[in-house]
Amino acid sequence: MKIGLTGASGLIGSALVPALRADGHEVVRFVRRPADDADERRWDGEHLAPEAVADLGAVVHLAGAGVADHRWTSSYQQQVLQSRVRGTGAVARAVAAAGTPVLLSASAVGFYGDTGDRVTDETGPRGEGFLAELCEAWEAATAPAEQGARVAHLRTGIVLSGKGGALGKQRPLFRAGLGAPLGSGRQWLPWISLQDEVAAIRHLLTADVAGPVNLVAPAPVTNREFTKALGAQLHRPTAPVAVPRFVLRAVLGDFADEGVLLGQRLVPAVLERSGFSFAHPDLRSALRAALASPAR
């Protein structure tokens, strides 16, 4: 298959490109400044010409401003919202105009808000807060493509990789013996290994699946359990006392409430029903694989 990809330089995209090529697919990357070769085409994050996707069998859309890249301010939240919604709308309109048959579009588990201890699959309702509203608008932006294409929304959890993401930021702290639970430590973490994230996207390119798909492992853990497991894998002690909410808010601002302190006990019901098999269904094996990768 010939597959178009936005966000090819990100944590997920940079692992997905070689995996797709190893599968025998041809990959076209959408970038702002394409080189003079056949595997790059131009897009500016908000506009994409239909002819750029006309010869593709599928588009995987991962691009967008990072939710946790900066301290949350009203202006940065607006930047994130516009980046995700406008970019997705541009891709969806191009896919619709060109008749491209498949669109896999990034989303996030933030859609569900705080689920507490309730086990939740893709039928769960939208939660409250900025992230939930962002994800709803983000997914709605694919509407133009849904008239003719199979569209799946990739509701991704915390991707575990030693090369970046949340684990990349935590690794130095834990190595220094500064790892500790956050807030109550009882909030649930929906996680997935980078290997399984990439494998799930490859699976969804041909699986008969549309709509929301939780890209999370089948065994969510609490923040306290995650802290203990990461400390054990790094052979470092972790603090028995949690970092209090007011400290997290002082450092992270409003992101602390939605990105760190709320819990989501999510399961990958759609993925498992479609026949997907996880390489790392448990946290221990996922951390071992992630930490075997050299940090950037």
Average pLDDT over residues 252-278: 93
Instruction: State how far the alpha carbon of 261 is from the alpha carbons of 112, 115, 193, 223, in Å.
Output: 14, 12, 21, 9
Cα–Cα dist 239/174, whole Å: 10
What are the structural domains, with CATH classification, of the chain? 2-291 (3.40.50.720)
Instruction: State how far the alpha carbon of 136 is from the alpha carbons of 29, 111, 210, 289, in Å.
Output: 26, 7, 16, 32
- Flag whether pLDDT at 257 surpasses 60: yes
Q: CB of 45 within 8 A of CB of 87?
A: yes
- Flag whether pLDDT at 233 surpasses 60: yes
Q: What is the model's pLDDT at position 296?
A: 54
Cα–Cα dist 139/148, whole Å: 16
Q: Greater confidence, 251 or 184? A: 184
Cα–Cα dist 126/264, whole Å: 12
CA–CA–CA angle 66, 6, 171 (5° rounding): 40
Task: Note the pLDDT tens digit of each residue in 97-114.
Answer: 999 999 999 999 999 999
pTM exceeding the 0.85 threshold for the entire prediction: yes
Buried b (16+ CB within 10 A) or exposed e, 53-88: beebbbbbbbbbbebeeeebeeebbeebbebbbebb
DSSP 212-237: EEEES-S--EEHHHHHHHHHHHHT--
Task: Note the pLDDT tens digit of each residue in 117-149.
Answer: 999 999 999 999 999 999 999 999 999 999 999
Helices in the chain by DSSP H: which ranges? 11-22, 74-98, 130-140, 165-175, 194-204, 223-234, 245-252, 255, 269-273, 283-291
